[in-house]
Amino acid sequence: MQSVEQSMNFLSKKYEEMRASEAKRQVTIDKLETEVASLRSLVSKQSEYISDLRKAANDAEQYSRLPNMEIYGLPQKPKQDLLSLMANLAQKLEVLFEDSDVETIHRLPAKREGEPVVLVRFVNRMLKEKWISSRAKFKLLVEKKDAPSMFFCDNLTCFNKQLFWAVKQKCKEMEYKFVWSRNCKIFARKIEGAPLIRINGFADLDRLVRQWTQSLTNVTM
């Protein structure tokens, strides 16, 4: 009997030791889970902070480019006077133009086949907007062969250019008729007279695609 009692006491002691050890392990696990959750929260906040910094930097860079305009497809010739070409083009577009309107004008290094892009920096963004507003008229000149096959647009940041072309691609898939930039802001419109949609970032584009996908699902149901 004494031997059985000793065995029971031994087992009981071991059981209590195991329970105590398990309790300690659980405390350690709970502590680690709390630390992991805290680290995840910190990483999330830091990612949000970095994202905000990137957006602020992109917005600041884009603001500095507001007076800028890019011209694509302008034929390049030796000893070319770009200001004179601008003056001739302004006359065709019936846009008032003085050499003093331009702070600087030059071609950018070629990154692909075709004519190097011409970058024009006007003394203020209002002068740039006069040219941007005449794009429809210029398109008619090109169609009538009264002007070279070229176009001009906002000088978007690298990020905003990526966003713009992503919007163009997705909107083509969704059969949107109009995608454009104005004042360095990106817009889309399904058809003539439809509501204007401002695309501020990739989240807006993703939301637009989800809405379009959902509309297709509703039609097939």
Digit-by-digit pLDDT tens for the chain (221 residues) are 556 666 666 667 777 778 878 888 888 888 888 888 888 988 888 888 898 999 999 999 999 999 999 999 888 888 899 999 999 999 989 999 999 999 999 999 877 778 899 999 999 999 999 999 998 888 888 888 877 788 899 999 999 999 999 999 999 999 999 999 999 999 999 999 999 999 999 999 999 999 998 887 776 65
CA 64 to chain centroid: 17
Q: Look up residue 36 and give its two tokens.
A: 């992991």
Nearest Cα to Cα of residue 94 among 143, 170, 147, 150: 147
Listed in sequence order, the residues at least 6 apart from 72 whose beta carbon sits closer than 8 Å to its beta carbon are 114, 115, 117, 150, 151, 152, 153
CA geometry: angle 95, 100, 105, nearest 5 deg: 85
- Return the H-helix or E-strand segment holding 171: helix 158-173
Nearest Cα to Cα of residue 129 among 161, 150, 153, 106: 153
What is the DSSP code (8-state) at residue 192? Answer: T
Model pTM score: 0.77
Listed in sequence order, the residues at least 6 apart from 103 whose beta carbon sits closer than 8 Å to its beta carbon are 67, 121, 122, 123
